[in-house]
Amino acid sequence: MPESHIATKMRWSRADVAALLALPFPELLFRAQTVHREHFDPTRIQISTLLSIKTGGCPEDCGYCPQAAGYETGTKAGRLMAVEAVLVEARAAKAKGAARFCMGAAWRSPKEHDLDAVCGMIEGVKALGLETCVTLGMLTGPQTAKLKEAGLDYYNHNLDTSPEYYGKVITTRTYQDRLDTLEHVRDAGINVCCGGIVGMGEDESDRAGLIATLASLPEPPESVPINALVAVEGTPLAKAEPIDAIDFVRVIAAARITMPRSYVRLSAGREAMTDEAQALCFMAGANSIFHGEKLLTTKNATVNHDEALFAKLGLKAEQ
């Protein structure tokens, strides 16, 4: 593929992305860094904080998720948080440098009275001067319109993996269900946050399939979280082999090349990564992270560690 074509290509096949993933590592990083610098300041990282506003008790069977009601993981089901309690967390996140506040609820899809409460949270967080993002499961068209009216900036709904591998991880909702929700979000004029998880037993072809699907959506997601599986005891994927660090960096680089204007977020799994692996991810075009000691229910790198790493690498939070 001609290098001049890399940043402008609109449709990416699985074979296209597989060819990127197979490049010699220095060449892949060079291409990713070149594309990244055309669209972003390589020394700036967008900081988000993620809060579980309703934990556990989810009826879905996602094989990686400790919040699924059918798995014995020690995660207790809780009620939806009160609006003011969420705003306390949002203020603390802003004080620590977050620019975006993300709220996640363990639902298959939200009930209308719960959606009203979430809209109140969105309005309150927006009033603090933070960008807002929620992940609430599947949505209808009217529900996305309601979130838009409340001022929602981003909706997160991950594809998780390739269409071909998806059924080995989740059976309670289809890939098309996910695509339908993304279409509703787009139609409402809300920015899309959509990525996936690697290290779930998929092969390199499936990783290529995930990135190709994301990059070839009618409009690529504005935010692309790439997660390394956090294997939780009690879930079907508890014994999954961790993804090799270099292979993970390759996925980050492929996401950057194929979605040049998107924020690529280094998401779950950072707590187990070395500083060197994270540095390579930033070199490969990752320019967003989650700040805070917890991601919904799993551990994340500490704020102090992130600040020390940023200082070591000469990186700064995007304002």
| Strands (DSSP E) found in the chain | 44-54, 100-105, 131-135, 154-156, 191-193, 196-198, 223-228, 263-266, 288-290, 294-295, 298-299, 316-317
Token pair 């269409």 is at which residue?
163
**Catalytic option among 14, 31, 62, 281:** 62
**Catalytic option among 14, 31, 119, 133:** 133
* Length of the chain, in residues: 319
First to last CA, the chain: 36
**Catalytic option among 14, 173, 193, 207:** 193
**Catalytic option among 207, 265, 270, 281:** 265
Q: Is 173 a catalytic residue?
A: no
Tokens of 44: 């700036």
Q: Is 281 a catalytic residue?
A: no
Q: Is 119 a catalytic residue?
A: no
**Catalytic option among 14, 65, 100, 119:** 65
**Catalytic option among 102, 119, 194, 281:** 102
Q: Is 265 a catalytic residue?
A: yes
What CA–CA distance (Å, rounded) separates 107 from 55? 9
**Catalytic option among 58, 119, 194, 281:** 58
What CA–CA distance (Å, rounded) separates 255 from 264? 7
Whether residue 93 contacts residue 49, with contact meaning beta carbons closer than 8 Å, is answered with yes
Q: Is 91 a catalytic residue?
A: no
Task: Write the CB contacts of 95 (distance below 8 Å, at least 6 apart in sequence).
Answer: none
Q: Is 194 a catalytic residue?
A: no
Active site residues: 58, 62, 65, 102, 133, 193, 265
